Amino acid sequence: MTIKEAQHQADNWIKTYGVRYFSELTNMAILTEEVGELARIMVRTYGEQSFKESDKKSNLADEMADVLWVLLCLANQTGVDLTDAFQKKLAKKTNRDGKRHHENEKLKNSNS
């Protein structure tokens, strides 16, 4: 599935089952909430915090999909073509950072 197809499927779902989009501001708040839920799993899985009993049923992939869902909705609402935006971002990052990371001694000496 392409990003464009994902945007289209999200839009179709909203129009079929969701009645309408939440407001852009509401969706921005929901996105922030979903990123927080993703962060909770990341810090407990890869960081120093331990899982609480209520966190144990959380699923990393599901939380990432929640973030993607709301981002797709926001893009649809605001007229952003995420495929085009991502391609432009990738070109910008390549132009700006194409050599920078390879020359970063901190990355060369990393234990990971």
What's the pTM value of the predicted model, to 2 decimals?
Answer: 0.87
Question: 34 and 5 in contact (C-beta within 8 Å)?
Answer: no
Q: For residues 38 and 64, give the distance between their C-alpha atoms in angstroms, rounded to a whole number.
A: 6
Place of tokens 């990003």: 3
For residue 110, give the nearest of 39, 33, 58, 101 by alpha carbon: 101
pLDDT along the chain (112 residues), means of 10: 98 96 98 97 93 85 98 98 98 91 83 56
Return the pLDDT at 17: 97
Q: For residues 7 and 27, give the distance between their C-alpha atoms in angstroms, rounded to a whole number.
A: 15
DSSP 51: P
Place of tokens 């797709």: 72
Q: What is the CATH number of domain 3-80?
A: 1.10.287.1080
Q: Any idea where the domains of the chain sit in the sequence?
A: 3-80, 82-112
Angle, helices 3-13 vs 60-78, to 10°: value is: 80
Return the pLDDT at 110: 63
Phi-psi region of 80 (alpha: psi -120 to 50; beta: other; left: phi over 0): beta
Return the pLDDT at 108: 82
